Amino acid sequence: MSDATSFAVGTTSSRPLSAARRRPLTRGTRWPLLLLFLPPALLLFTIFVVLPMGEAAWYSFYNWNGYGLPALSDWVGFSNYELVFKNSVFRQALINNALIIVISVLIQVPLAMWLATLASSKVKGAVTFRLIFFLPYVLADVAAGMIWRFVYDGDFGLVGGIAHALNVDAVYPIADKNLAIYAILGVVVWKYFGFHMMLFIAGLQTIDKSLLEAAEIDGASPRQRFFRITLPLLGSTVRLSIFFAVVGSLQLFDMVMPLTGGGPFNATQTMVTFLYSFGVMRMKVGFGSAVGVVLFIICVTLAFSYKRVFMRND
Amino acid sequence: MTEATVSVEAPPPRDGAERPLGAGTRIYLYTSMIIVAAIVIIPLLTTALGGFKTLGDLRGDPFGLPREWVWSNYSEILFSQRYWLQIGNSLLIACLTVVLTLLCGAMAAFTFAHVKFFGSGFLLNYFLVGLMFPAATAILPLFIRVRDLGLLDTYWGVVLPQVAFGLGMSILLFRNYFKSLPSELFDAAFVDGAGYFRFFWHVSMPLSRPIIATVGIISFVGSWNSYLLPLIMLNSEGKYPWPLGIMVYKGEFSTDWQLILAFITLTILPTIIVFFVAQKQIIAGLTAGAVKA
């Protein structure tokens, strides 16, 4: 978010200085501009982003149904937060979100990097493969979730078909409370690896080919070239990719709803599905707001500290 | 090691043609990529083919081609009002979102790029905070606010929050781009008597096509695919965009998978067609935009 680098490139040397250039330029009055150009964005942003976030913090101290204004008698102090953290489903949601982050980082990022090295090699059709890999990313989460609900269906779907072909009992991955979260993880990877791959392809393009060639001449094996040259030079891309995986996992909602809706037995709740089913659906404004505030704090802390600690040099 | 540095300066001949890859490497490359591509495509393909099957056929053989091509699943949906209504709703909401995100974002970014005023740095950071958390965190107060404004169950109730949450990205990208335009342009325009407004409309915006495309694509795709906000803000089915429509359809036809698959296929078809037509711009927009923001 730093801006010191983006300055206009001057072409003054090629052009004689005009009188107008030396005279301090009056660029017209600024007030009309400020009064016309800023308010639309400012109003929209304040009304629909900042105020709701502030109100979430405010409402989270009340036990309130959302009508009128929260009265003093509705004040419950921190008890909503207590209820949130004591709620076993919320803790499950936290664990699931953490699991999604860990798996994304451990599976998706290496997978994306590996595919990026394949898809950026100079073979015929590599560009087509890139397109195919990226395709799931442009599909809506809801559509991806629905497609995979079919795939995972033990009666009609592919999993059922495979079980049938192998002559074993049908498996119902998303109906099994131990398997369901991994089934969702599979869809997350299926949908998002292409995006991460594109990040890595862009990262690979910035690496100077002559470095790799030099190493090759010196007899470095492909493995050595990858781990000693490519990987260290991809550092900033790795950090970026992990950042997106984390942010994406915290927001996961659209994909879970068509797949499991948070079930079975709340085994696949994420923080946002929890907020939806326990706050919005039951119109528990105070409780739901408390969940929102917790999520907000997690998001902002992660974003800030990650940018500070890991991405400060990028 | 000294020899190594020498060889860096004199790399092997690389006039255009790179060394051909060995046969083993090629086989490895292709088999890996084909396997991954198959994992991507098979679910999509079986979805599309499943829409042509009867339920019994689907149950017996989810993989293969339909034993008998049933066109009625698709044609019924295509001739129904509901499909077109939902696609139309999504299109309308997405277009309004894109236009407002571009306009409000570019205008605010223009002031941040060209005018320094008291508190401008603070105000810019104020907008950038919006990049850090998703709309879901404030969804309940947002619902109450939209309700109190009387915008519940209207397109605006979805559009305005979407625009607001897209502003941080839009302002950041536009401002950086405006600042990178040569300031000579600005001076020249003012010497010629143009004010801020004419400069914005006739110089800055026409020069900003790449960033307009990026912001436009990001906010269009986001809106086209969005589910949570419409789910909360819209009540009447006539206003539902297609992601909500899929869920309702699934609810109605629960295990009639052949119909649901046909419906899914038809709703994702526009995305897939547009993606293949404008793949370069879409990939560049979605990745480059994400990296910069």
Q: How far apart are CA B36 and CA A194, in angstroms?
A: 11
Tokens of B68: 């008998």
Q: How far apart are CA B117 and CA A106, in angstroms?
A: 47
- What average pLDDT score do residues B200-229 get? 91
User: Is residue B145 less than 8 Å (CB to CB) from chain A?
Assistant: yes
Q: For A221-227, which contacts have Cβ atoms below 8 Å and span 24 or more sequence positions?
A: A226/A117
State the count of interchain CB pairs (< 8 A) between A and B: 327
Indicate the pTM of the whole model.
0.86
By C-alpha distance, the chain A residue nearest B164 is: A45
Share of chain B above pLDDT 90, in %: 52
ipTM (interface predicted TM): 0.86
pLDDT in the model for residue B197 = 86
Mean pLDDT over all residues of chain A? 84
User: What structural domains and CATH numbers belong to chain B?
Assistant: 20-75 (no CATH), 80-292 (1.10.3720.10)
- What average pLDDT score do residues A176-200 get? 92
pLDDT in the model for residue A26 = 52
Contact A234, A203 (CB under 8 A): yes
pLDDT in the model for residue A28 = 62
A197 lies in a domain?
yes
Rg (CA), chain B: 25
By C-alpha distance, the chain B residue nearest A248 is: B134
A91 lies in a domain?
no
- What average pLDDT score do residues B150-175 get? 94
Cβ under 8 Å to A: B residues 61-80: 61-63
Model confidence at A174, pLDDT cuts 50, 70, 90, reads confident
Q: What SS3 class is residue A62?
A: strand
Is B164 within 8 Å of A299 when comparing Cβ atoms? no
Share of chain A above pLDDT 70, in %: 90
Is residue A24 scored above 50 in pLDDT? no
Cβ under 8 Å to A: B residues 219-278: 221, 224-228, 232, 243, 246-247, 250, 255, 257, 260-261, 264, 267-268, 271-272, 275-276
Residue B11 CA to its chain's centroid (Å) = 42
The set of residues, in sequence order, having a beta carbon less than 8 Å from that of A139 and lying 6+ positions away, is A191, B225, B268, B271, B272
Of A233, A246, A252, A248, nearest in space to A113 by CA: A233
User: Is residue B156 less than 8 Å (CB to CB) from chain A?
Assistant: no
- Structurally, chain A folds into a number of domains equal to 1
A161 lies in a domain?
yes
Is residue B6 scored above 70 in pLDDT? no
A3 lies in a domain?
no
What residue numbers bound the domain in which A190 lies?
A: 97-266
pLDDT in the model for residue A171 = 79
The more confidently predicted of residues A305 and A135 is A135
Contact B158, B202 (CB under 8 A): no
pLDDT in the model for residue A45 = 95
DSSP B175-187: HHHHHHS-HHHHH
Model confidence at B116, pLDDT cuts 50, 70, 90, reads confident
Is B130 within 8 Å of A49 when comparing Cβ atoms? yes
A134 lies in a domain?
yes
- What average pLDDT score do residues B161-178 get? 93
Model confidence at B143, pLDDT cuts 50, 70, 90, reads very high
Contact A53, A297 (CB under 8 A): no
DSSP A270: -
pLDDT in the model for residue B194 = 79
- What average pLDDT score do residues B40-47 get? 92
Is residue A5 scored above 50 in pLDDT? no
- Buried residues in B225-259 as b, exposed as e (16+ CB within 10 A): bbbbbbbbbbeeeebbbbbbbbbebbeeeeebbbb
Model confidence at B101, pLDDT cuts 50, 70, 90, reads very high
Q: How far apart are CA B141 and CA A109, in angstroms?
A: 35
Model confidence at B165, pLDDT cuts 50, 70, 90, reads very high
Model confidence at A113, pLDDT cuts 50, 70, 90, reads very high
Mean pLDDT over all residues of chain B? 86
A309 lies in a domain?
no
Q: What angle do CA A155, A183, B134 make, to 5 degrees?
A: 125
Contact B182, A12 (CB under 8 A): no
Measured between beta carbons, which residues in chain B are less than 8 angstroms from residue A251?
Answer: 134, 136
User: Is residue B286 less than 8 Å (CB to CB) from chain A?
Assistant: yes
Model confidence at B88, pLDDT cuts 50, 70, 90, reads very high
Where residue A107 sits, what CATH number does that domain have?
Answer: 1.10.3720.10
Is residue A167 scored above 70 in pLDDT? yes
Is residue B40 scored above 80 in pLDDT? yes
Is residue B64 scored above 80 in pLDDT? no
User: Is residue B201 less than 8 Å (CB to CB) from chain A?
Assistant: no
Give the ranges where B54-204 is alpha helix by DSSP (H).
55-60, 72-78, 81-114, 120-128, 139-148, 155-180, 183-191, 196-199
Is residue A23 scored above 50 in pLDDT? no
A243 lies in a domain?
yes
Q: How far apart are CA A311 and CA A241, in angstroms?
A: 11
The more confidently predicted of residues B58 and A89 is A89
Question: Around Cβ A72, how many Cβ atoms within 10 Å?
Answer: 6
Share of chain A above pLDDT 90, in %: 40
- What average pLDDT score do residues A221-238 get? 85
The set of residues, in sequence order, having a beta carbon less than 8 Å from that of A198 and lying 6+ positions away, is A116, A130, A134, B283, B287
By C-alpha distance, the chain A residue nearest B280 is: A131
Model confidence at A17, pLDDT cuts 50, 70, 90, reads very low
A253 lies in a domain?
yes
- What average pLDDT score do residues A109-130 get? 89
Give residue-wise pLDDT tens across range A30-83.
788 888 899 999 999 999 999 999 999 999 998 887 777 777 777 888 888 998
Is residue A19 scored above 80 in pLDDT? no
pLDDT in the model for residue A139 = 94
pLDDT in the model for residue A295 = 93
Among A19-33, A78-92, B57-71, B256-270, name the one with the lowest average pLDDT.
A19-33
By C-alpha distance, the chain A residue nearest B254 is: A150
pLDDT in the model for residue B18 = 53
Contact B248, B82 (CB under 8 A): no
Q: What is the identity of the amino acid at A85?
A: F
